Amino acid sequence: MRHSGKTRELFERLLESEDAAGRGPAFEKVLGERLTADGFTVHFNPKTARPRQTDLLAIHESEHFLIEAKWRKRSIDVADVDSLRMRLNRLPSDIVGCIFNMSDYGSGAIEQVESDRTREILLFNAAEINSIFADRLDVHELIRRKRETLRIEGQVWFDDSKPESSARRKNFPPPRREFRTKNGAAPLVGFPSDNDETVFFLDIPETGAIDTFVSMELRLAIHHTAELADVLEMIQDTIGLSDEGTFSIRQLSHAWYGFGAQNFLDAVGNWEQRYSKAKLKSPHHSEDLVFLDLSGRALIALTSRQRVGDSTFLHASELEIQLPGIPVDLSKFQELARKTGNPDALFQTHLGSGLHSAHFKAGQVKLVPHSKIVSADLGEEWVSGIVAKNPFTASRMKRLSGNLGEFFPQHLPEPKYLLCAVSDQYLLRDEVSNLSARSVFGTWIGHVPVLNIRCTWEDHVLRSKDTSVNEALLTEIQDAIEPEGEPVDQAVDALFDRLSPDAPKPAKKKRR
């Protein structure tokens, strides 16, 4: 069997294309080229079924296949099957009909193929077509299996095999942050969206803050969520994952955000539940996936697209690694490149800072929290971030335009909600007021624009009366006494600085 990398590239471009009118004819052409690469003799727009038009006639040895190539939004229905059957009825009885379809199949279409087998019709779904172009499935074996199942069992058969994880699943680092909504803790939050591409990272990327940094791009030949999990495990085993992982999933009219590698995998796999909860009526056929993490000084960006529907698969998957300088030891990065099928990958050098920044006066850009982002530290829960409705409206952006440069006017107003890091963390059981954005940083990571928004609060509305933290910290004072009995003033002051307002010394803001 001859493989063609060119047809794979052309097919991937079609997967990314939004040109509905031009995509169908292009798919017909690239499918014909792919079948030619797999040993078929292909005739485009043959006159076999005149006066009706047919897309392709493919011949392999003594077998003939009349093929319809479909790429449209609506599902294939009974009328589409009947149309192909009418074409077949004009042809010799040994010619097999095929529908290669990138949308879904209605139940009526499948029942029609199964109930009337006077003419043999084989159905191919989007996941199978993607696997053919990716050299994951052999088209000859796929045809054999479909024909055998239809003839012997009277059923339409689709390949729904999903690979098992190649290794025993390890525990990914649990995220140090979680969302707190009015309903309690949540692994992710979702909001309406206008198909914006912006994602959030609650830590400032170091690679964008210097004049020279390096990056390595790795292409990922993954198809299922299990393989996505394997890639994350490869990262963990080589350069390491952290508890800083942040992800976003973006549909045409909705976006989801969360923390942690396992929560990311769960959210990707549970797309139907997400859509149902968000009450999406007409979701796009694909959604964009982004996972960001910081391992030491290495910034990791894993991006992919998930096609959803009756046949679900991943495509256009890439892993980008950024570093603020070329590491002395390249072995772990080379190992990751080999494991992901990129043995020849090299670091590329980038000159010039890629980090954009803007700063605001206190109260200039006020924020109204929708939900909180909570971290655990010192045996307490702290508000380390908030989710807020985007205050950067068109009118505000116009007033601020003189201080925003070129990056922020394009990407800052896009999201309907913002994930913001709280510079001065406060106890979850406290209440604060006058939250406002004080700075925003932006850069490009993994072909997506990333925002780091930092906010602060001005006043406590209610301070907690719980002194348990004070009592625990006071027990540390005796460890700060020198053998001679003279206290170490600085150590004691540092401990008192961590006490709550009910302690003799007033609490200070917890700065991160």
pLDDT in tens, 230-262: 999 999 999 999 999 999 999 999 999 999 999
* Residue 176: predicted pLDDT: 92
Of residues 254 and 282, more confidently modeled? 254
Dihedral of CA 161/166/170/175: which sign? negative
Domain 5-152 indexed as CATH 3.40.1350.10:
yes
Write out the residue limits of the CATH 3.40.1350.10 domain(s) in the chain.
5-152
pLDDT-derived band of residue 369, with 50, 70 and 90 as boundaries?
very high
Burial class (CB in 10 A: 0-12, 13-18, 19+), 457: buried
Q: Which residue has the higher pLDDT, 19 or 372?
A: 372
Q: Supply angle C-alpha 307, 312, 318, rounded to 5.
A: 55
Per-residue model confidence as pLDDT tens digits over 67-100: 999 998 889 999 999 999 999 998 999 999 999 9
DSSP string, 383-448: EEEEEEE----HHHHHHHGGGTTTHHHHHSSS-SEEEEEEEEEEETTSEEE--EEEEEEEEEETTE
- Residue 495: which pLDDT band, with cuts at 50, 70 and 90? very low
Confidence label for 447 from pLDDT (cuts 50, 70 and 90): confident
| Banded model confidence at residue 195, pLDDT cuts 50, 70, 90 | confident
Instruction: Determine if the pTM surpasses 0.85.
Output: no
Least reliable range by pLDDT among 225-229, 247-251, 308-312: 308-312
3-state secondary structure at position 210: coil
**Stretch 6-15: mean pLDDT:** 91
136, pLDDT greater than 70: yes
- Cβ-based neighbours of 299, under 8 Å, separated by 6 or more: 205, 206, 207, 292, 293, 321, 322, 323, 445
Q: Which residues make beta-bridge pairs with 123? A: 99
| pLDDT tens digits, one per residue of 168-180 | 456 899 999 999 9
Question: What pLDDT sits at residue 17?
Answer: 86
Residue 486 has pLDDT above 50, yes or no: no
Contact 224, 313 (CB under 8 A): yes
Q: Which residue has the tokens 């952006």?
A: 397
Reported as a pLDDT band with limits 50, 70 and 90, residue 392 is very high
Question: How much is the pLDDT for 218?
Answer: 96
At 328, the pLDDT band (50, 70, 90 cuts) reads confident
Rounded distance, CA 398 to CA 379, Å? 44
Instruction: Let me know how long the chain is.
Output: 512
pLDDT in tens, 33-72: 999 999 999 998 776 655 556 689 999 999 999 999 999 8
* pLDDT at residue 489 greater than cutoff 60: no
Residue 309 has pLDDT above 90, yes or no: no
pLDDT above 70 as % of the chain: 85
pLDDT of 208 reads 55
For the chain, what is the mean pLDDT?
A: 86
